[in-house]
Structure 1
Amino acid sequence: MPDRRTALTPDALLMMDAIARTGSFAAAARELGKVPSALTYSVRQLEDALDVLLFDRRSRQAKPTAAGEELLAEGRRLLAEMDAVANRVRRVATGWETQLTVAADGVLSRLTLLELCEAFYALRPDEAEQGPGTRLRLRTEVLAGTWEALVSGQADLALGVPLESAAPGIEIAPLGDLPFVFAVAPHHPLAALPEPLPDDAILRHRAVAVADSAQRLSPITVNLLPGQDVLTVSSMQAKIEAQLRCLGCGFVPEPLVRDHLRGGRLVAKTVQRQRRQVRLGYAWRAGAVGSRRQAPQGLALQWWLQQLESPATRRALLERHCGLPSDVD
C-alpha cells in the first residue's frame, strides 16, 4: 500500500481536480494526456493509500464521495498555496510576480482596463526584448464580490470597492465618485408619472438587480423595496439591457447609460429617495500583519498602483464607457 504522504502529490491533486471538473475519467484522461486505464489505476492507488473511496462509480459520471469532496477542497487550497509560494519566490528573485490578478467591479470601464493591460505588456524592463513576464488575470466582480476576491487572496488588486471597506493588512485609496440615476424605458409606466416618484409607485413595478458575486461574505442588496418584484441578472450590462427592453426599473451608473439617456432610449426620473453618489476605492494587500519576514511589494503591482495615482486614469475607469478617446496616462 502506498504511503499517504507520497501518494498526496501535486499530480494526484491535479488529477482529482480534472476528474471532478470534467465529470468522467475518460474526459480527465484526455485533458491530462493519459489513457483512462492509467488514470483509473492512479485513483485506486490514491484510494488505497488513504483507505477511502474517493469517487462513486455507480453512475456514468465520476461523482466525488464526501471524502472525495473534502480532498478536492483541501487539494485545491494546497495547489493555490503552492502557486503562491512559487510566485513569492520568483518575486523575491526578480521583483516581478509570476501572475497578478486584478478584480474589478463590473461598473468600471473595460476599455480602460484593457488599455492598462496594453501599456503593461509594452513594458521593457532593463531594455530586455520581452516584457516583465507577469501573467495578468482580470476578474469581473459585483458589489461585495470585488472586496471578497482581495481579502480571500484570489486577487492582488481590487478596483471599485466601497471606500469605507477595511481589513487588517489591506491598503485602500480613493478611486472616485460614481453617480447613479433612476432610469426606465420611455414606454415604461413610470416614465409618464410626475416627479419625484414615490416609493409606493415604484413598488408596483418590477426592479432589475445585479446579483452580488460574493460567495462567502454577506451579499449586498441596494435600493430594492421590501416586497418588490425583482428580475436578477448577472452583470450591470445585462441590467441596462433589461431596462432598455422595459423589463424593469432601477438605479444605474450614469456614465454607463449616458448615451442611452441622450438618445432617449432611457429616461432618468427623480425619486423621493434619490440615491447619492457612490464613493469607490481601490485596494491591495500590504503584507501579512505581524510578519517578521515580509517579501517586498512586487513590481507589477507597483506599476498598477502608479497608474492609479493618475487622476486621468481613475476618471477614465469611472466614466469611459462610450468608446470616446481616452487620456489614460
Structure 2
Amino acid sequence: MASPRDVLTPDAFGLVQAVADHGSFAAAARELGLVPSAVTYRIRQLEDALDVLLFDRSSRQARLTAAGNELLCAGQQLLQDIDAMAHRVRRVATGWEVEFTVAVDTTLSGTTVMELADSFYGLAPTTRLRLRDEALGGTLEALTAGRADLALGVLVEPGTTPGIASHELGDLDFVFAVAPQHPLAAAGEPIPDEVLIKHRAVAVADSAQQRANALTYGLLAGQDVLTMPNMRAKLDAQLRGLGGGFLPEPLARPYIEAGRLVAREIQRGSRRTIRLSYAWRNAGALGPGRALQWWLAQLESPTTRTALLERHRAG
C-alpha cells in the first residue's frame, strides 16, 4: 500500500478539488482529460493511504466528508508553503523578490507612479511588479494584511504595528469644490452645515476589507452621498455637477483655474491639510530585497515625494 507521502502531491490535491467542485468523478475526469476509472482509482489510493473516506458516495453527487474537507484545507496551506519556499530560494539566489506589490492611495499622482514603474523596469529586474489602487484605510490595511509590500499615501500612522516601518511622505492640501452649475456655487459663504446637508456629497469608497479599518472624512450625518471607486472618478463626478466635496488641491487646481470647478468656503473650513506617509513590511531575516531597496531609495528624494503629492495631470 502506498504511504501518505507517496500520494499527497499537488496533483492529488487538484484531483480532490476537481471532484469536490463538480460533485462527480466523471465530470472531474472530463475536466482533467482523464477516464473516470483513473479518477476513481487515484481517489481510492488516497483514501487507502490515509485510511479515511474523502467523499460520501451514498447519493448521486460526490460530497466531501469532514476528513476530505480538512485534507483540502491543509493541502491549500501546504501548496502556499511550497510556493513560499520556492520564493525564498529564488530570493536568496538573485536578491530580487519574486513579486513586489505597491498599494497606492488614489489621492497620489498616477503619472509619477507610472514614471517610477518605468524606471524600475529599466533595471531589468526578475521581480514581477504589481500596482494596486487603494483608498483611505484600505491603503494601510493592504500592507498589514499582507496584500502589499509597500504602501504609498497612508492616512493613519501604523504606529507600533509589528513588522511595519513607515516614513513621512508629506502634507496634502484639500479644497472644497463644486462645478459652476451646481447650486452651492452661488450659495453665500461660508456655507453652513444646514445648507450643505441639503446637497449630495461625492466621496471615495474606502477600500478596506475590514469594517474596523474603514475611514470617513467630511460627510454630514444624514447627507446624501454618491460613492465613487477612486479619486479620479470623484473628480469626474464633481465636474459633472453631481455633488460637492473635498479634492486634493493639486488635482483640483487646473480645473479651478479653467473655471470648470469653483472653490467654496464652508463653515467647517474650505481647506484641509492631511499628512500622508509611506510604509513597508520588514523582510525578516533575509533583509529587504532589491525591489524594496530601490523603491525606498526613490522615496528618500524630496523631489519624488513632492511629485507624488502634486504632479496631477489634467484630463
Calculate the TM-score normalised by the size of structure 2.
0.80
Equivalent residue number for residue 158 of structure 2: 165
Residue 186 of structure 1 is aligned with which of 152, 165, 180?
A: 180
The number of aligned residues is 305
Question: Given the alignment, which residue of 195, 200, 211 partners 2:189?
Answer: 195
Distance change >3 Å, CA 173–CA 4, structure 1 → 2:
same
Equivalent runs, 1:74-85 vs 2, <5 Å = 79-85=79-85
> What SS does structure 2 have at the residue aligned with 1:314?
helix
Correspondence list, 1:202-217, <5 A: 202-216=196-210, 217=212
Structure 1 contact 103–139 (Cα < 8 Å) conserved: yes
Q: 2:278 aligns with which of 264, 279, 282?
A: 282
1:198 is displaced (CA, Å) by 1.1
Q: Distance in 2 between matches of 1:143 and 1:35?
A: 47
Q: Which amino acid aligns with 2:236?
A: E
Residues 41-81 of structure 1: CA deviation (Å, up to 9, x unaligned): 48993996774559xx999xxx9999999887776655444
The gaps in structure 2 that reach 5 residues or longer are none
Moved more, 156-165 or 177-186: 156-165
Secondary structure, counterpart of 2:213 in structure 1: coil
Inter-CA distance 66–233: structure 2 relative to 1 (3 Å threshold): farther
Cα separation, partners in 2 of 1:306 and 1:69, compared to 1, 3 Å: farther
1:12-62 Cα shifts (integer Å, max 9, x gaps): 55678899999xx999999xx943867x948993996774559xx999xxx
Of the structure 1 ranges 185-194 and 82-91, higher mean CA displacement relative to structure 2 is found in: 82-91
Structure 2 equivalent of residue 45 of structure 1: 43
Identify the residue that residue 119 of structure 2 maps to in structure 1.
119
The alpha-carbon distance between structure 1 residues 120 and 287, as it changes in their structure 2 partners (threshold 3 A), is closer
Number of the residue aligned with 1:151? 144
From 300, 304, 309, the counterpart of 1:309: 300
Alpha-carbon distance in structure 2 between the residues aligned to 1:202 and 1:67 = 59
Aligned residue in 2 for 1:327 = none
Which residue type is aligned with residue 112 of structure 1?
T
Contact 2:255–2:314 (8 Å) recurs in 1: no
Deviation at 1:10, TM superposition (A): 3.5
Distance 1:206 1:176, change over 3 A: same
- Relative to structure 1, is the Cα distance of residues 79 and 165 closer, same or farther in structure 2, using a 3 angstrom cutoff? same
Which residue type is aligned with residue 43 of structure 2? Q
Q: Which runs of 5+ in 1 are unaligned?
A: 124-130, 289-293, 325-329
Corresponding residue for residue 130 of structure 2: 137
Is the alpha carbon distance of 1:68 and 1:258 closer, same or farther for their aligned partners in structure 2, counting shifts above 3 Å? Answer: farther
For 1:222 and 1:300, the matched residues in 2 are separated by: 33
Pairing 1:269–2:248 present: no
Q: Distance in 2 between matches of 1:250 and 1:64?
A: 52
* TM-superposed deviation, 1:312: 0.8
Q: Distance between the aligned counterparts of 1:120 and 1:27, measured in 2?
A: 46
Distance 1:283 1:43 in 2: 51
Separation in 1 of the partners of 2:172 and 2:11? 46
Q: TM-score, normalised on structure 1?
A: 0.77
Give the residue type in structure 1 aligned to 2:118: E
Moved more, 310-319 or 11-20: 11-20
Q: Which has the larger radius of gyration?
A: 2
Percent of aligned pairs with the same residue?
56
RMSD of aligned Cα (Å): 3.9
- 2:110 maps to what in 1? 110
Superposed displacement of residue 283, structure 1: 0.6
